[in-house]
């Protein structure tokens, strides 16, 4: 009778870490699925995974899918339970090290990141002086609306992606970060707009 794995934990994607129970890893002999609450869904087949490696605080998924972030770690308090479940499910990595996609550094141009931070700080300066400039409280939502619009545009528009992404890189490598930024910025934007209407 085939077994299946189903584990709850956290996740580290690139430099972003989310705690338990925001990630769910499930699978059987044929595939592994990693679902990150509201941010990402990853599917791996044996021929796409080179190895599952124990690392500090979890298990690193070393994969060959160029569209996914290079660094994906499933965070769990018991790596032994993880490996026991995967073994029982019958999942065996079958990819070769030679199949790793070639990636150099961040997929995003650093100049774009610097430009976005400069604009963000300009918005903050304006909003910090909103009373002096005789602006409404809802003006405080402007920096967050800026981040929200950029985050959505980068995910949806190939034209915008062409300014952000280096050649032969994929938006899915950094999509969870932009989804997280969109989620947080939308919450703050709504909060400040609501305060301005009260």
Closest by CA position to 189, among listed 159, 152, 148, 157: 148
Other CB atoms within 10 A of residue 69 CB: 24
Whether the pLDDT of residue 134 is over 90: the answer is no
Q: In what order do the strands lie in the sheet with 32-36?
A: 40-44, 32-36, 16-27, 5-13, 72-75, 58-63, 49-55
pLDDT tens by residue, 52-109? 999 988 999 999 999 999 999 999 988 888 898 888 889 999 998 888 888 878 899 9
Rounded distance between C-alpha atoms, residue 74 and residue 59, angstroms: 5
pLDDT tens by residue, 146-165? 899 999 999 999 999 999 99
What global pTM score does this model have? 0.81
Whether the pLDDT of residue 1 is over 90: the answer is no
| pLDDT averaged over every residue in the chain | 87
């Amino acid at each position: 009778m085939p077994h299946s794995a189903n584990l709850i934990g956290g996740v580290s994607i690139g430099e972003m870490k989310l705690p338990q129970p925001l990630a769910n890893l499930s699978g059987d002999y044929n595939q592994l699925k990693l679902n990150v609450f509201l941010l990402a869904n990853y599917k791996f087949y044996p021929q796409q995974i080179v190895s599952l490696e124990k690392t500090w605080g979890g298990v690193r998924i070393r994969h060959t899918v160029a569209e996914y972030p290079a660094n994906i770690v499933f965070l769990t308090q018991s790596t032994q339970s993880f490996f026991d479940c995967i073994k029982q499910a019958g999942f065996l990595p079958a990819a070769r090290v030679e199949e790793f996609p070639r990636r150099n550094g961040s997929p995003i141009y650093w100049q774009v990141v610097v430009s976005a931070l400069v604009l963000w700080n300009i918005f903050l300066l304006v909003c910090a002086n909103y009373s002096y400039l005789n602006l409404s409280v809802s003006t405080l939502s402007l920096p967050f609306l800026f981040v929200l619009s950029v985050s959505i545009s980068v995910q949806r528009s190939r034209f915008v992606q062409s300014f952000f992404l280096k050649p032969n890189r994929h938006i899915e490598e950094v999509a969870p970060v932009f989804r997280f930024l969109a989620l947080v910025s939308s919450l703050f934007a709504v909060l400040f707009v609501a305060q301005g209407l009260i």
